[in-house]
Amino acid sequence: MPGPIECRLLPHTGYLLIPATLSAMAWVASMSQDGCDYSRLTGPSVQSLTGNDLIPYAEVGRAAFRVPVYYEKDADWRVPYTEECASYAETGVDASGWAWRLSQVMSFLALAFGGAGSLFLWVGGCTILSRTMWRAAGCEILIACVCQSLALLWFMTPMCDSDAGNSCVLHFGAKSDAAAAALWAISAAAVFWKYPTPRPKPTIVLGDDESETAGMIGSASNMGSSKQGSQLSFGDGYGVSDRRGSGNRRYSANSGGFM
């Protein structure tokens, strides 16, 4: 029968916070886009999307797009971000090519593997992860990094074909994906570079001078080999040992000490 799960704060030391925080930041970055801000498109494809040759550009994504509005007072084209994205189904653009589908699938897999790996690492903030589980989390984060990078193949869609005079530049969504891939890469490197050995369970020891002296020493197994004594175990992972003498002692609640 496996023993009970021992929960205590940062058993793998503070080093665990480095890959865990980086992976969580990557997951948030990959989520911080509204679906139609992946790239800024210019060229003939803009007219195909809007049916208007006066609109200079459009902000496009994997499944939708958004067009700017001309403000006469400022004599400038600006995108109203309060409006909803328009679907490609309403236009003549074919959004079912291999680059479209591959980018969508890779983006989903990056979120799934990256989120799972990040969750694994944060669980290690209160319980002990074996070396195998530690490396498994690193593998998941590394897969997320690769998938997030492959999601950028969206720029190979016919809509961004430079030979046809089109141009797609990185916008907020693509920049977020690139940042997420970089953060996941650094997090995976931190995981594979070092496995933080779990700290031994701390123990509180009662001193020989009839007063309670708090001391953080090694594991409880090492205590039994040095001196004889009794130990009381508490539910928070700490123990109390009585080393005052070699006789049998019991704890008295009335006197507040060992009798």
Average confidence (pLDDT) over 102-128: 91
Average confidence (pLDDT) over 60-82: 88
Instruction: Name the token pair of 23.
Output: 């992976």
pLDDT value at 6 more than 90: no
Handedness of CA 99, 105, 109, 111 (dihedral sign): positive
Contact 24, 118 (CB under 8 A): yes
Least confident of 61-70, 164-173, 182-191, 235-244: 235-244
pLDDT value at 71 more than 70: yes
Closest CA to 71 of 79, 62, 63: 79
- Residue 189: pLDDT band (50, 70, 90) is very high
Contact 137, 120 (CB under 8 A): yes
| Cβ-based neighbour number of residue 45 at 10 Å | 23
Percentage of the residues of the chain whose pLDDT score is greater than 90:
39
Q: Would you state the pLDDT for residue 111? A: 94
Q: How far apart are CA 215 and CA 55, in angstroms?
A: 73
- Residue 204: pLDDT band (50, 70, 90) is low
- Residue 206: pLDDT band (50, 70, 90) is low
Q: Give the highest mean pLDDT range of 66-75, 181-190, 193-202, 206-215.
A: 181-190
Q: 222-253, pLDDT tens digit by residue?
A: 444 444 444 444 444 444 444 444 444 444 44
Q: Would you state the pLDDT for residue 202? A: 66
pTM, full prediction: 0.72
Stated as kind and residue range, the H or E segment containing 66 is strand 64-66
